[in-house]
Amino acid sequence: MRFEQLDLNLLVALDILMEEQNITRASEKLNLSQSATSSILSRLRAYFDDDILVQVGRKMQPTPYALELQQPIRDVLSTIRSTIVGKRMEDPSQSIRHFRIIASDYIIQTLMLDVLSEISSIAPNMTFEFLTPFSHGAELLAKGNADLLVVPEQVVTDGFSSAFLASDEFVCACAKDNTLFDDSISAEQLTTTGFVTVGFDRHSKFNMGNWLNEEVRDNRKVEVIVNDFNTLSRALVGTQRVGLIPRKLAMQHAQHMPIKLLKLPFSFPKLREHLVWHPTLERDPIHRWLREKMLAKNNLSSLEINAEHDK
């Protein structure tokens, strides 16, 4: 299809070329030969009267004009997918959508496993892929490379639609045979005992230290950093270390692992998890259906969905 002499199919190719910055990888995503992809790049250069991508060493780098085009093109493609292509399929039972969701193992185990179980009988051809928040964030939503993001309230980014999903609280955990603790831990012990923590605690806006009081915050002895809460619990076994885990998940782990929960010497702020998505997916019927399934697991109605971009 052409619009003012532009073949709109070229926009899809340009989006992928800009993402990959490599003819070979872009060819694989487009299911085209390398020569065909090179030909598309030539057509794009001719239409925009710009080099678009320039070979620098082994990598192709976008021109300043191409960088200006990148986000508007992604917005156009996202709108087409959600308002035109998406509306062709409104029946979840017939959907073959593949959803990419950025969420911690805490969210997967305490919420999504039940959702997936329910969906498997309603929409058997719908598929899912989970990405770790340790490596990915809202930038994937902006690029159209992820459908949903689940993050604590403090990490929700302006410009995206969001809904409150679930609340929890943090508890301290240690090995069941840990000889240092009975059923509680003191503020002093929080600064002298070795910690196991998750990676995004140390390297993102979601830093557990920010939730501790001033006395403890900067004095934790972080001895082990892992990529998920499940590994955190396992890393406590056979050691004298402690870790901070959301209560719902910690209680699950305590049923299957030799760990115990300790009472903290002060109250933590509540952990409030939010569901986040790109505004262009707001009216996508299948996307909305999935959001409502997730919200329903916490007895939330779709009326409580808060689209931040409409504020």
pLDDT in tens, 152-196: 887 787 888 999 998 998 899 999 999 999 889 998 898 899 999
* 140 has pLDDT over 50: yes
Is residue 46 within 8 Å of 98, Cβ to Cβ? no
Query: What local confidence, expressed as pLDDT, does residue 298 receive?
Result: 67
Helices (H), 105-186: 105-107, 113-122, 138-143
Q: Rg (Cα) of the chain, in Å, rounded?
A: 23
What's the whole-number average pLDDT of the chain?
A: 82
Is residue 130 within 8 Å of 113, Cβ to Cβ? no
For the chain, list the domains and their CATH numbers. 2-87 (1.10.10.10), 89-167+272-310 (3.40.190.10), 170-269 (3.40.190.10)
Phi, psi of 268 (to 5 degrees): -90, 155
Q: Which helix (H) or strand (E) holds 168?
A: strand 161-168
Can you tell me the distance from the alpha carbon of 90 to that of 101, in angstroms, rounded to the nearest whole number?
Answer: 20
Query: What local confidence, expressed as pLDDT, does residue 207 receive?
Result: 55
As given in the structure block, the two tokens for residue 25 are 């990888």
Count Cα neighbours of 78 within 13 Å in the Cβ-side half-sphere: 22
Mention every residue, 6+ apart, whose C-beta is less than 8 A from residue 40.
10, 13, 17, 30, 32
Q: Which residues pair with 194 in a beta bridge?
A: 221
Is residue 11 within 8 Å of 73, Cβ to Cβ? yes
266-279 average pLDDT score: 86
Can you tell me the distance from the alpha carbon of 213 to that of 30, in angstroms, rounded to the nearest whole number?
Answer: 52
The pTM is what? Answer: 0.66
pLDDT in tens, 32-44: 888 988 999 998 8
Expressed in percent and rounded to 5, the helix, strand and coil fractions of the chain are 50, 25, 30
Can you tell me the distance from the alpha carbon of 75 to that of 79, in angstroms, rounded to the nearest whole number?
Answer: 6
Is residue 52 within 8 Å of 41, Cβ to Cβ? yes
Can you tell me the distance from the alpha carbon of 268 to that of 196, in angstroms, rounded to the nearest whole number?
Answer: 18
- What does the CA dihedral 155, 158, 161, 166 come to, rounded to 10 degrees? 20
- Least trusted range by pLDDT, from 28-37, 132-141, 270-279: 132-141
